[in-house]
Amino acid sequence: MPGLALAHGAHFKPFGGELRAYVFEYSLGEPVARAEVIVYPPEDSADFQTGETDAQGVFAFAPNRPGTWRLEVRDGKGHAIRKYVNVGAAAGGAATLPAGDTPAHSSGAAIAWLLLAVSLLANVVFALAAIQTRSAWRRSSNSPTVRKGT
């Protein structure tokens, strides 16, 4: 009987292709956990792979040809990320955006940039007001006092 048990088994072997893995996060660093991921191959509208990110926001796929691959991630809460990945490119396949395409961002990132811009503008206004107040105070303290004779 031990021979029968060994006749059917499981094993592993190394994958010979290129593996790509990414961590998807919200703007404050929290992982986009258990989000739906759809992978589209270069110049094709049919999906190549579907899956989801793990609890740490990680997703991996193994492209089978060079070109620009598109990953679309949706968390089911209104956030979406579109990632373009160049496979077979130099320098580790740095991602680029095809002409006319823009990444989909969560509203949190846009709000963070808006708050940063408002904060910088407010700091400039307050600094100018402080300089003007200080200059006015110096002018009033340096002006000669006129006394009427007794």
Q: What does DSSP assign to residue 145?
A: P
Residue-level pLDDT at 21: 93
- In angstroms, rounded to a whole number, what is the distance separating the alpha carbons of residues 96 and 83? 9
Residue 74 banded pLDDT, cuts 50, 70, 90: very high
Mean pLDDT computed over 21-48: 94
Name the phi and psi angles at 121, rounded to 5.
-65, -40
User: Considering only CA atoms, which of 63, 62, 100, 57 is closest in space to residue 81?
Assistant: 57
Among the ranges given (17-21, 88-92, 94-98), the one the predictor scored with the smallest mean pLDDT: 94-98
